[in-house]
Amino acid sequence: MIKRFNFSRFIRCIKNSYQLFIMLFLGWLLLTLDFSYIEMLVGIVVCFFLAALTNYIYQPVSPVSRYFPGLIVLIPYLTRLIFEIYKSSFSMIIRIIRNDNEPAVSMVKLSISNPLSIALVANSITLTPGTITIDTDGSTLYVLAIKAMSEQDKSIVESSVRSFEAFFKRK
């Protein structure tokens, strides 16, 4: 059934989604880097409709900014992430040459509870080649790894998850 378009609700949605609009517009400005009137006007129109329409679908539970980690957390985290990506890329290349693969899913229970941190940890696990987060259940992650059949290999996977988790624990 198609919902009838409600104008007052549409206006309320726009009021709620001004943060999203600002972020989208900043992204537009960064990607175009063109400050002529016509570009700005097109950007404002596109971002306005995107923000309004997306907010109509997704209602945020609470503002993301409350969860967002600061620069003190982000910089060491990103350094660690890039290091881990290259480390596991090279070990992945060796695995491909030797053709040794024993994929298995291991369950890792995190001790953090806020949704953005869990999403960031899951995302960084998927970013490192050789491991993919398959499923989450609350704060439990199901991690698929290229070599995780034996207990020893499972503990290696778990320790790499814990190293990412450690950045987001509240001190």
Partner 1 sequence: MIWSLFLILTCIFIVFGIIGIYRFKDLYCRMLSSSLLDTAAVMTLIIALIIRSGFNSVSLKLMVILAFVMLTGPINNHVISRSAYLNDIDVTKHGGDRK
Interface residues toward partner 1, by CB under 8 A: 27, 30-31, 33, 82, 85-86, 89, 92-93, 96-97, 99, 101-107, 122-123, 126-135, 142, 144-146, 148-149
Comparing CB distances to partner 1, the nearer of 13 and 108 is: 108
Half-sphere exposure of 52 (CA within 13 A, CB side): 15
Q: How far is the CB of 133 from partner 1 (least distance, A)?
A: 6
Q: Name residues whose C-beta falls within 8 Å of residue 17's C-beta, 6 or more positions apart in sequence.
A: 51, 52, 54, 55
Joined together, the tokens standing for residue 100 give 């040794």
Comparing CB distances to partner 1, the nearer of 52 and 144 is: 144
Separation of alpha carbons 159 and 138, rounded Å: 20
Q: How far is the CB of 128 from partner 1 (least distance, A)?
A: 8
Q: How far is the CB of 145 from partner 1 (least distance, A)?
A: 8
Q: How far is the CB of 99 from partner 1 (least distance, A)?
A: 6
What is the b/e burial string over 71-87, where b = at least 16 CB atoms within 10 angstroms of the residue's CB? eebeeebeeebeebeee
Comparing CB distances to partner 1, the nearer of 43 and 130 is: 130
CB 158 within 8 A of CB 110: no
- Among residues 61, 50, 57, the alpha carbon closest in space to that of 20 is found at 50
Q: How far is the CB of 55 from partner 1 (least distance, A)?
A: 20
Separation of alpha carbons 139 and 18, rounded Å: 30
Comparing CB distances to partner 1, the nearer of 44 and 85 is: 85
Comparing CB distances to partner 1, the nearer of 8 and 151 is: 151
